[in-house]
Amino acid sequence: MRPAIQIFPVAGIGDVVPGQDIHSLIVAGLAYSEITLVAGDILVVTQKIVSKAEGRLVDPRTVTPSHIAEMCAAQGHKDACYYEVVLRESKRIIKMDRGVLICETHHGLICANAGVDESNVDGGTHITLLPVDPDASARGIQAGVGVATGVAPAVIITDSFGRAWREGQVNIAIGVAGINPIEDYAGQDDPFGYRMQASMLAIGDEIAAAAELVMGKTDRIPVAVVRGVTYQTSPSAASALIRPANKDLFR
Amino acid sequence: MRPAIQIFPVAGIGDVVPGQDIHSLIVAGLAYSEITLVAGDILVVTQKIVSKAEGRLVDPRTVTPSHIAEMCAAQGHKDACYYEVVLRESKRIIKMDRGVLICETHHGLICANAGVDESNVDGGTHITLLPVDPDASARGIQAGVGVATGVAPAVIITDSFGRAWREGQVNIAIGVAGINPIEDYAGQDDPFGYRMQASMLAIGDEIAAAAELVMGKTDRIPVAVVRGVTYQTSPSAASALIRPANKDLFR
């Protein structure tokens, strides 16, 4: 039987530096990997290469730490300049304990260290920030790849986040274009006639997680193509995956 | 290019009733779906059919609600008997607010309503409980399918859980056999020479999430085969995915 879903790794993209055209790099990677996009394909792109192309890199030695950044450094494992960058990327601190900072970013994402990351950058000189507007980044990739290949895929920009209560990180969707990342079953009947009450699937996050299985952490596979998923193409935003404050028990 | 990962839906399993041999049903479903297992395949099985086969069904009208179950019903959307079943499946209440009960189950899983579920059962008479020992259930499926087909796949038993801060549910691993659900990169160098400090990927949860993309909520697809994932076969347990209490900021 034919598989319902296929996940293709996109290799050959190489190092990304500020100012590069991210969609041109992806188009070249697709050609290198001998992948021809078809209608319905979803392009999953790790945040790291988007941030690099968009110049979202900081040398932490260039920032002056605030008092609270110094306090973080006294309790944590990183230096005060690093924490200052994290605090500048945050609009709220959810938890600050045992050297870990759980932040709400300016996008409303809740994650460790506001998504500021030292790995897979350039060996330690710079750190990466999340894209300013990951949905806009996703739309730019969708449009650019569409013009170059004739197929405008749905696009999901991802990052690896930790979770409350569970060990290990999973890839999640921080930016989307051309795909509704939530599938809402509320009010539908299950096959036994039971009316489902609170069944929303976060398929944007599930597609992000699926794609990471071909990406990994140390492989140079920053992009994947996911083929065969059924989804709604209605205009949407990754903020649909963020629980509104008034419904959130864990703020 | 050949896809790195393929996900096959397993159809034809039909309704499951207590006492049925879950691995025989899966073997029949594989044949119906014309899927021949190969070495390295991962069988992803939704908790619902495992619970049904194992007789983990309760008619809530047969339980006598406690005082606190009556209090839950007064604030929530379900009746006191339902909440009593939830409380009996719990060893600790993490949060109780706005009609929602976030529980720690006897397995240590943290989720809404202790995994007690009304959907996809039999139209509302019975509710399902999580399997008593999902790792043991997974090992039983691995062994039974191995004897019947000559290939003993890795097995992941899944359920859909909500998350703190994020909207929608995602499928996660609650039982495993033949696969280490955590991939630990700590101490490895990234491609730029940076030594990664805290990089553990929850690939068990990512595979569970990927499989749900062919399962959905209203489709009768309770099983999927995931092919092409690289993983460690070392003996493990789904408890590896549960953050130890002394490392958990959100207990």
Residue B100's pLDDT band, with cuts at 50, 70 and 90, is confident
Instruction: Say yes or no for a CB contact (<8 Å) between A124 and B194.
Output: yes
Say yes or no: B5 contacts chain A, CB-CB below 8 A: yes
Residue A85 lies in a domain: yes
Are residues A137 and A203 both part of a single domain? yes
Q: Whole-angstrom Cα distance, residue B143 to residue B153?
A: 9
Residue B41 lies in a domain: yes
Of these ranges, A93-102, A197-206, A233-242, the one predicted with the greatest mean pLDDT is A233-242
For the cut 80, the answer to whether the pLDDT of residue B112 exceeds it is: yes
The number of distinct structural domains making up chain B is 2
Are residues B70 and B96 both part of a single domain? yes
Residue A192's pLDDT band, with cuts at 50, 70 and 90, is low
Instruction: Say yes or no for a CB contact (<8 Å) between B110 and A165.
Output: yes
Q: What is the mean pLDDT of chain A?
A: 91
Q: Whole-angstrom Cα distance, residue B185 to residue A216?
A: 10
Say yes or no: A187 contacts chain B, CB-CB below 8 A: no
Q: Whole-angstrom Cα distance, residue B200 to residue B183?
A: 6
- Note the maximum CA span of chain B: 62
pLDDT digits 0-9 by tens, A149-179: 999 999 999 999 999 999 999 999 999 999 9
Average pLDDT over residues B204-230: 91
Residue A1 lies in a domain: no
Distance from CA of B242 to the nearest CA of A (A): 5
Are residues B136 and B218 both part of a single domain? yes
For the cut 70, the answer to whether the pLDDT of residue B217 exceeds it is: no
Q: Whole-angstrom Cα distance, residue A158 to residue A43?
A: 11
pLDDT digits 0-9 by tens, B141-184: 999 999 999 999 999 999 999 999 999 999 999 999 999 999 98
Are residues B67 and B112 both part of a single domain? yes
Residue B178 lies in a domain: yes
ipTM of the prediction: 0.94
pLDDT, residue A233, reads 94
Are residues A47 and A72 both part of a single domain? no
Lowest-confidence pick of A39-43, A66-70, A117-121, B76-80: A117-121
Instruction: Say yes or no for a CB contact (<8 Å) between A191 and B165.
Output: no
Are residues A221 and A181 both part of a single domain? yes
Tokens 């730490």: give the residue: A65
Residue A41 lies in a domain: yes
The residue from A127, A147, A170 where one domain ends is: A127
For the cut 70, the answer to whether the pLDDT of residue A196 exceeds it is: no
Say yes or no: B248 contacts chain A, CB-CB below 8 A: yes
Q: Whole-angstrom Cα distance, residue A155 to residue A178?
A: 7
Per the CB < 8 A criterion, the answer to whether B18 and B53 are in contact is: yes
Are residues A41 and A86 both part of a single domain? no
Average pLDDT over residues A75-98: 92
Say yes or no: A201 contacts chain B, CB-CB below 8 A: yes
For the cut 60, the answer to whether the pLDDT of residue B196 exceeds it is: no
Q: Whole-angstrom Cα distance, residue B104 to residue B132?
A: 14
Say yes or no: A96 contacts chain B, CB-CB below 8 A: no
Lowest-confidence pick of A1-15, B162-176, B226-240: A1-15
Residue B147 CA, chain-centre distance (Å), reads 23
Amino acid present at B211? A
Are residues A120 and A148 both part of a single domain? no
- The tokens describing B19, both together, are 């006492």
For the cut 80, the answer to whether the pLDDT of residue B195 exceeds it is: no
**Which residues lie below 8 Å from residue B18, measured CB to CB, with a gap of 6+?**
B52, B53, B54, B55, B57
B35, B100, B210 member nearest A206 (Cβ)? B210
pLDDT, residue A107, reads 95
Average pLDDT over residues A65-70: 95
Are residues B181 and B64 both part of a single domain? no
Residue B112 lies in a domain: yes
pLDDT, residue A13, reads 93
For the cut 90, the answer to whether the pLDDT of residue B23 exceeds it is: yes
Are residues A171 and A224 both part of a single domain? yes
Instruction: Say yes or no for a CB contact (<8 Å) between B170 and A206.
Output: yes
Residue B2's pLDDT band, with cuts at 50, 70 and 90, is low
CATH of residue B195: 3.30.1330.100
The residue from B96, B127, B158 where one domain ends is: B127
Residue B1 lies in a domain: no
Distance from CA of A64 to the nearest CA of B (A): 24
Average pLDDT over residues A195-215: 88
- Domain of B149 in residue numbering reads as 6-55+131-247
For the cut 60, the answer to whether the pLDDT of residue A50 exceeds it is: yes
Instruction: Say yes or no for a CB contact (<8 Å) between B120 and A185.
Output: no
Are residues A243 and A187 both part of a single domain? yes
Residue B26 lies in a domain: yes
3-state secondary structure A174-223: EEEECCCCCEECCCCECCCCCECCCCEECHHHHHHHHHHHHHCCCCCCCE
Alpha-carbon distance values, B146 to A39, B97, B127, B229 (Å):
38, 45, 31, 19
Are residues A195 and A226 both part of a single domain? yes
The residue from B112, B127, B142 where one domain ends is: B127
Chains A, B: CB contacts under 8 A, how many?
Answer: 248
CATH of residue A105: 3.90.1660.10
Q: Whole-angstrom Cα distance, residue B17 to residue B49?
A: 8
